[in-house]
């Protein structure tokens, strides 16, 4: 297939490269000249405008920073410019309402579209092992699944339009809260005199086991290799976790959901971000809890 890929940041660059590896012809666009150079090195054709990139393609994939940008790109440069038969896939993490509106506009304009946010971080984007949570019609999902499978290890249908975004923000609210709980637990274990590797060996096989501990341990030298072993560089930035938690708080308010743990996680990550830690991995919040 010929696929336009819009947004070649930390996640999108690796995703586009994996589409090339899967045998697709990729038309790449980004505002960053450096990102376009990397895309060329990875086998993509590069373009200086979205409209040029989406011309004559079979699919359009976007990976963009926020809902406002997603809405603007699709409404201004994709709808009516990409061929009517193209399948549209937005892999950005945005609010549910915007995802539904963009999809509704796409349908009116004659396109199939899915919202397909991802879980897995930069390493998974580069390695093609992302998990996609997909919202849209059955028909749109069937068309999108082969494209998403080239970039991930799991492609899961969540339901109708916006369901992918709903699943993503719920998942990341749980992740943010569980990471803070994991960090404060290790900090307390150390103050109680426990060896942290020993505590990991116990808790990772007991009822306290969770993904933040066993797959992404915030303590250097404990558990599988994680950003903690690289001075919290790489991984999933604190600023991005905060963005997702803010989306979760907006969604919770819109449906009157009681989320005290999620709300507290949002407060703590907001303070961590304001302390100048927005660029480090979100597990680095352990430094504030030690």
Catalytic residues, by residue number, are: 168
Residue with tokens 């799991």: 154
Q: Report how far apart, in Å, the C-alpha atoms of 33 and of each of 9, 40, 251 are.
A: 11, 11, 35
Measured CA to CA, the distance from residue 224 to residue 2 in angstroms comes to: 38
Torsion sign over Cα 235, 239, 243, 249 = positive
DSSP string across 97-126: HHHHHHHHHHHHTT-EEEE--EESHHHHHH
Residue 159's DSSP bridge partners are 135
Question: In the numeric block, which tokens belong to residue 43?
Answer: 């086998």
* Interior angle at CA 231, CA 227 and CA 233, nearest 5: 55
Question: In the numeric block, which tokens belong to residue 27?
Answer: 């038309």
Half-sphere exposure of 290 (CA within 13 A, CB side): 9
Single out the residue of 148, 135, 158, 167 nearest to residue 247, CA to CA: 167
Contacts of 181 (CB under 8 A, 6+ apart): 210, 212
């Amino acid at each position: 297939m010929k696929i336009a890929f819009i947004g070649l940041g930390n996640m999108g660059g690796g995703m586009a490269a994996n589409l090339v590896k899967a045998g697709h012809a990729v038309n790449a666009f980004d505002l960053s000249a450096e990102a376009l150079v990397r895309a060329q090195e990875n086998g993509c054709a590069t373009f200086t405008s979205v409209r040029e990139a989406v011309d004559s393609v079979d699919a359009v994939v976007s990976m963009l920073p926020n809902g406002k940008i997603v809405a603007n790109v699709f409404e201004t440069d994709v709808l009516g410019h990409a061929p009517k038969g193209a399948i549209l896939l937005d892999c950005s993490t945005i609010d549910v309402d915007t995802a539904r509106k963009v999809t509704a506009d796409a349908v009116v304009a004659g396109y199939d579209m899915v919202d397909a946010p991802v879980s897995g971080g930069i390493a998974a984007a580069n390695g093609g092992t992302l998990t996609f949570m997909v919202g849209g019609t059955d028909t749109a999902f069937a068309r999108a699944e082969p494209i998403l499978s080239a970039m991930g290890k799991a492609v899961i249908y969540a339901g109708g339009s916006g369901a992918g975004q709903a699943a993503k923000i719920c998942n990341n609210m749980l992740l943010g809260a569980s990471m803070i709980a994991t960090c404060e637990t290790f900090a307390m274990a150390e103050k109680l005199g426990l060896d942290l590797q020993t505590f990991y060996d116990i808790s990772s096989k007991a009822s306290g086991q969770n993904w933040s501990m066993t797959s992404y341990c915030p303590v250097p030298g404990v558990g599988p290799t994680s950003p903690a072993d690289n001075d919290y560089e790489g991984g999933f930035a604190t600023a991005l976790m905060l963005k997702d938690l803010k989306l979760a708080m907006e969604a919770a308010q819109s449906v009157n959901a009681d989320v005290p743990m999620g709300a507290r996680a949002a407060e703590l990550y907001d303070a961590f971000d304001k302390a100048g830690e927005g660029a480090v991995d979100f597990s680095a919040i352990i430094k504030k809890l030690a």
